[in-house]
Amino acid sequence: MSDIKKVVLAYSGGLDTSVIVRWLQDTYNCEVVTFTADLGQGEEVEPARAKAEALGVKEIYIEDLREEFVRDFVFPMFRANTVYEGEYLLGTSIARPLIAKRLIEIANSTGADAISHGATGKGNDQVRFELGAYALKPGVKVIAPWREWDLTSRETLMKYCEDRNIPVDFAGKKKKSPYSMDANLLHISYEGGVLEDPWAEAEDDMWRWSVSPEQAPNEATYLELTYAKGDIVAINGEAMSPATVLETLNRIGGANGIGRLDIVENRFVGMKSRGCYETPGGTIMLRAHRAIESITLDREAAHLKDELMPRYAETIYNGFWWSEERKMMQQLIDYSQRHVNGDVRLKLYKGNVEVVGRRSAGSLFDESIATFEDDAGSYDQKDAEGFIKLNALRMRIAASKGRNLLED
């Protein structure tokens, strides 16, 4: 007899998680609580309620988390200019700690014994969900059906539905994309299908949010973004909430062919994986944030952030958002953003994001010093001679001792 009486399931309403509801009921003889998060995936989440009710679920949580997602997860990440392996903007990775947080909160409030998710045993998401859960509730029981059951394909899942009278019209028998997709306000990811061959080009009709650069308008689009402490607070002078900022940038960026990415990445579990990503708003945000930092951050502070960023990115990618080291790095990053205020003007054209202006009341750019014209004595060029000689001192000493770098 299982000691699991109640389980909180991260529930999408699709085939996999609908099967999981019944499988949990059958295998553990337990009550299932479903949690469906609206993170801006672009699909209605409310239909998940009827699907869960049809499976006998009594406690159903459907929550709009878009503002919290962008404000407390996406924006803090972008303050660090975070990119994994030089390209990936971590659209899937950054959503998992929020889902894990709510799973644990709901488990606590409902008295559940365990949580469950539909991530497979091959991917990163199982790690991210579970690391977050254990960090927030050390003794929680985690049930990962894909690591337990013998349902190994879509066909076996459909057979399970037929055998147990799970209505196939909502379990996923309708025409389905050939790709495994995950979407939220920051991005859409595509895996599987033809993409499993890293030599094969992605089909153009796969992309959902963006036109191809070839089909983008022939006229450039100009944007002006306003920053306060490293976060965008207005677009073209109009104040917006975090989620509205990202929604707006996705729409404008996608219309200009911005944000498509095709990469092979190194998963935390050890394998390489080919994936395609659409991140139009995030691509714009990254370019603009570096631009406003270029005039507001001290040089060494900026360089320290750049050195720290790969570690910060890997921490998030691997699922350690709720860790001491991530929080330590976040405090340093957030401290650096105190003076990252001002405006950035961008030019969007056929897949490109070009910075064409930046300004800030706290700018460290001093035109009187940087000018190529008469600087009226602001900078004494003779000072450069001593500066260069002092920096060359160790190399001059080594050379005088016979260390010839041309021969080494």
Q: Are residues 15 and 162 in the same domain?
A: yes
| Full 3-state SS string of the chain | CCCCCEEEEECCCCHHHHHHHHHHHHHHCCEEEEEEEECCCCCCCCHHHHHHHHCCCCEEEEEECHHHHHHHHHHHHHCCCCCECCCECCCCHHHHHHHHHHHHHHHHHHCCCEEECCCCCCCCHHHHHHHHHHHHCCCCEEECHHHCCCCCCHHHHHHHHHHCCCCHHHHCCCCCCCCEEEECCCCEEEECHHHHCCCCCCCHHHCCCCCCHHHCCCCCEEEEEEEECCEEEEECCEECCHHHHHHHHHHHHHHCCCCEEEEEEECCCCCEEEEEEECHHHHHHHHHHHHHHHHHCCHHHHHHHHHHHHHHHHHHHCCCCCCHHHHHHHHHHHHHCCCCCEEEEEEEECCEEEEEEEECCCCCCCHHHHCCCCCCCCCCCCHHHHHHHHHHHHHHHHHHCCCCCCCC
**Quick one: pLDDT at residue 167?**
76
Looking at the structure, do residues 143 and 15 belong to the same domain, yes or no? Answer: yes
First CA to last CA across the chain, in angstroms?
A: 72
The chain-wide mean pLDDT, for the chain, equals 94
Residues 260, 285 within the same domain: yes
Residues 224 and 274 in one domain: yes
23: domain CATH number?
A: 3.40.50.620
Q: Are residues 23 and 164 in the same domain?
A: yes
Kindly report the number of other CB atoms within 10 A of residue 174's CB atom. Answer: 9
Is 383 inside any structural domain?
Answer: yes
Pair (14, 48) in one structural domain: yes
**107 with 161, same domain?**
yes
Nearest to 159 by CA among 15, 10, 9: 15
| Same domain membership, residue 61 and residue 106 | yes
Known catalytic residues are: 16, 96, 125, 180
> Do 159 and 239 fall into the same domain?
no
Provide the CA 239 distance to its chain's centre, in angstroms: 23
Residue 353 sits in a domain whose CATH number is 3.90.1260.10
Q: In the chain, which residues have pLDDT < 70?
A: 1, 168-176, 408
Domain boundary among the residues 176, 196, 227 is at 176
How many folded domains does the chain comprise?
3
Tell me the C-alpha to C-alpha distance, in Å, between residue 38 and each of 43, 120, 281: 9, 21, 18
Same domain, 188 and 247: yes
pLDDT at 336: 98
pLDDT at site 374? 81
In a domain, 321, yes or no: no
Report how far residue 36's alpha carbon sits from residue 27's, in angstroms, rounded to the nearest whole number.
Answer: 22
Query: 113 with 33, same domain?
Result: yes
Look at residue 156 and tell me if it is in a domain: yes
**What is the chain's length?**
408
User: How many C-beta neighbours within 10 Å does residue 111 have?
Assistant: 9
Q: What is the extent of the structural domain holding 277?
A: 182-297+339-359
Query: Is 216 a domain residue?
Result: yes
**Rounded distance between C-alpha atoms, residue 372 and residue 384, angstroms:** 16
Residue 320 resides in a domain: no
Residue 186 counted as domain residue: yes
- Answer yes or no: is 80 within a domain: no
pLDDT of the residue at 175: 53
